[in-house]
């Protein structure tokens, strides 16, 4: 039944586009099982119509195919060209449409054309053209991936999101940034100091982090739009573990400004700090609920580091975990349905787990030796990025929200504390 519905949907879309191609960006395919349905797509290698394809370190169709496969929304069947054999193979996988395209490379410029085509009628369902500098070609491929997710599911795609993290270089801990698939690595700091706890602010336009560059650990702010990178605000003590509340433009964080490590919140950019915890124990690693009403954090007030939740003003405190020796780095899902965190198992290995905000449905997502820590959710709540030492050195990995499809995306060693940007 689902296949018949999708077949009819594609057919209706093809007819619509034939009659009203200029309105392509307004068309949305919806599903009664929104967020759960998987669509099969054929995928044909893009042609380089002009220029040398070896002059770029990737193929645009390879980027898009990776995006679609990792999204978990598509089953992708690839072919080098669309012919009778490819058509049969696509339809055998349940595909009703396929992706094709071509690109040109000239000097420092590119042109990219991407299309979603109905297999039987050969009508264009979605068509997009991009052009610009070669350095922007990979981002254009990600844009088309996000376009397909929006057109076929009515939701934003994550292919243009980014990941900020800590990378160890020559004994120094610097802040780096990369695309969500591990490409386009860039440096945010080069101060040869200790820089930790990066966190995105305002989508993906700013990053706040803790730096020892001035001697005392303070929050520094990198603004990608203005290029500025300096102290955000100074206070006595050590400021760490910032978390962003996009609903109210506030940062929650841990600080020793009053002597003990406690949780504070502060309006961005120029608000005053408000202390939220007063128990006398160590409180750290806060993360906002997506509606901005609650904060999850770590406290050892019971003798061991456990996960707690409180209201935004510090009231209505409740424990989320009650057994075990160590819990850390909680992260609230953008959907609000899960909290990811790190837990030490019986073999003293650190692993990623999730729990519902009501304290139920606890699930273990990683297994094996080594450490799996620092979980951070994708903006659509369907994936988690984390640090793992399973390869011998700390690297950045990603996985589906249920722990499946784990992929390594960094390879230089000494990478940890990843944070996934918003859209």
pLDDT tens digit sequence for 122-158:
999 999 999 999 999 999 999 999 999 999 999 999 9
Residue 312: name the closest of 289, 333, 343, 338 by CA.
289
417 within 8 A of 168, measured Cβ to Cβ: no
pLDDT mean values, one per 10 residues, the chain (423 residues): 38 35 36 61 98 96 97 96 97 97 97 98 97 97 98 96 94 96 96 97 97 94 97 93 97 96 97 96 98 98 96 97 94 98 91 96 91 98 97 96 96 97 97
**Whole-number pLDDT of residue 36:** 46
What is the rounded end-to-end Cα distance, in angstroms, of the chain?
Answer: 33
**Whole-number pLDDT of residue 7:** 40
**CA-to-CA dists, residue 313 to 36, 82, 240, 288, angstroms:** 36, 59, 19, 12
Q: What residue ranges define each of the domains in the chain, with the CATH number in brackets?
A: 2-153 (3.40.50.10070), 162-420 (2.120.10.30)
Question: Rounded to whole angstroms, how far apart are CA atoms 175 and 190?
Answer: 8
Question: 102 has which bridge partners?
Answer: 47, 113
**Whole-number pLDDT of residue 169:** 78
The separation between CA 98 and the C-alpha centre of its own chain, rounded to angstroms, equals 26
Question: Rounded to whole angstroms, how far apart are CA atoms 407 and 211?
Answer: 29
**Alpha-carbon torsion (122, 124, 126, 131), positive or negative:** positive
Question: Rounded to whole angstroms, how far apart are CA atoms 129 and 99?
Answer: 14
The model's pTM is 0.90
DSSP β-ladder status, 74-79 and 39-44: parallel
**Whole-number pLDDT of residue 279:** 92
Specify burial of residue 332 (Cβ count, 10 A radius: 0-12, 13-18, 19+): buried
Structure confidence by residue, pLDDT tens digits, 335-393: 999 999 999 988 889 999 999 999 999 999 999 878 999 999 999 999 999 999 999 99
114 within 8 A of 144, measured Cβ to Cβ: yes
**CA-to-CA dists, residue 397 to 122, 162, 237, 422, angstroms:** 39, 14, 33, 18
168 within 8 A of 195, measured Cβ to Cβ: no
In the chain, DSSP finds a helix count (H) and a strand count (E) of: 4, 30
Tokens of 261: 């490590």
Strand (E) or helix (H) holding 60: helix 60-71
Tokens of 302: 């019971």
Question: Across all residues in the chain, what is the average pLDDT?
Answer: 91
**Whole-number pLDDT of residue 170:** 77
**Whole-number pLDDT of residue 369:** 78
Neighbours of 244 (CB within 10 A): 21
Strand (E) or helix (H) holding 418: strand 415-420
Residue 145: name the closest of 154, 158, 135, 132 by CA.
158
Question: Rounded to whole angstroms, how far apart are CA atoms 373 and 370?
Answer: 10
């Amino acid at each position: 039944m689902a296949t018949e519905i999708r077949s009819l949907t594609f057919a209706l879309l093809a007819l619509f586009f034939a009659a009203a191609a200029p309105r392509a960006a307004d068309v949305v395919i919806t599903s009664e099982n929104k967020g759960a349905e998987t669509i099969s797509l054929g995928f044909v290698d893009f042609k380089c119509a002009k220029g040398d394809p070896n002059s770029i370190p990737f193929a645009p169709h390879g980027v898009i195919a990776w995006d679609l496969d990792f999204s978990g929304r598509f089953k992708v069947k690839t072919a080098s060209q669309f012919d009778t054999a490819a058509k049969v193979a696509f339809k055998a996988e349940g595909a009703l449409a396929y992706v094709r395209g071509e690109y040109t490379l000239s000097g420092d410029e590119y042109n990219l054309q991407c299309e979603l085509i109905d297999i039987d009628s050969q009508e264009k369902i979605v068509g997009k053209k991009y052009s610009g500098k070669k350095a922007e070609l990979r981002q254009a491929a990600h844009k088309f991936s996000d376009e397909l997710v929006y057109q076929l599911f009515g939701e934003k795609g994550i292919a243009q999101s980014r990941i900020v993290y800590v990378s160890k270089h020559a004994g120094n801990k610097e802040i780096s940034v990369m695309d969500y698939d591990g490409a386009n690595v860039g440096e945010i700091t080069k101060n040869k100091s200790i820089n930790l706890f990066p966190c995105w602010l305002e989508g993906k336009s700013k990053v706040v982090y803790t730096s020892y560059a001035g001697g005392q650990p303070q929050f520094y702010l990198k603004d990608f739009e203005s290029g500025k990178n300096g102290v955000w605000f100074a206070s006595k003590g050590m400021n760490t573990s910032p978390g962003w509340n996009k609903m109210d433009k506030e940062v929650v964080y841990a600080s020793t400004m009053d002597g003990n490590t406690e949780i504070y919140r502060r309006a961005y950019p120029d608000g005053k700090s408000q202390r939220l915890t007063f128990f006398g124990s160590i409180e750290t690693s806060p993360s906002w609920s997506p509606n901005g009403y609650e904060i999850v954090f770590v406290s050892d007030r019971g003798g061991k580091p456990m996960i707690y939740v409180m209201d935004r003003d510090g009231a209505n405190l409740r424990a989320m975990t009650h057994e075990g020796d160590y819990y850390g780095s909680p992260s609230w899902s953008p959907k609000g349905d899960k909290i990811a965190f790190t837990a030490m198992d019986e073999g003293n290995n650190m692993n990623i787990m999730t729990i519902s905000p009501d304290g139920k449905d606890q699930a273990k997502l990683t297994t094996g030796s080594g450490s799996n820590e620092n979980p951070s959710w994708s903006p659509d709540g369907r994936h988690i990025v984390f640090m793992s030492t399973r390869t011998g050195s700390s690297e950045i990995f990603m996985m589906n929200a249920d722990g499946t499809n784990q992929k390594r995306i960094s390879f230089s060693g000494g990478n940890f504390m990843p944070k996934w940007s918003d859209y």
